Homo-oligomer: A and B are copies of this chain.
């Protein structure tokens, strides 16, 4: 068995949907649904709203991780979706999660990097 590189998508989004940046509840609910849909396995989750604005959310998965950091003062969110291909090829799932989050944050600007690692 050889190592099959997993897709890691890193996005930076500008958005006017400030309420999506100031509280993690809606983003977490969305991610829960997506994780269930794709039958990914949660190891642990960390979601924290920061006083004064913004939140950090991380789902640690057996398949790797999803992380979100928001900056409402800058109307900005950065997020990563990284799934290994250890048991299955998860590339299409990474792309789906990326797209679901794009739909959620309604970008006015978007920068994207894709790495295989």
Contact = CB atoms under 8 A, between A and B. Distances in A.
Interface of A: 1-3, 8, 10, 12, 43-44, 46, 48, 50, 56, 58, 60, 62, 64-65, 67, 69, 71, 73-74, 76, 78, 80, 82, 84, 86, 111, 113, 115, 117
Contact of A58 (B46, B48, B50, B111): B46
Which 3 pairs, one residue from A and one from B, show the smallest C-beta to C-beta distance?
A3-B74, A44-B46, A12-B117
Contacts of A78: 64, 82, 117
A74 B6 CA distance: 13
Contact of A117 (B62, B82, B111): B111
Given A12-B117, A115-B113, A69 B58 contact: no
**What is the interface of chain A mostly: helix, strand, loop, or mixed?**
strand
Given A10-B117, A80-B82, 16 more contacts: A3-B71, A3-B76, A12-B117, A46-B60, A48-B60, A50-B62, A56-B60, A56-B62, A56-B64, A58-B67, A64-B78, A69-B82, A80-B80, A113-B113, A113-B115, A113-B117
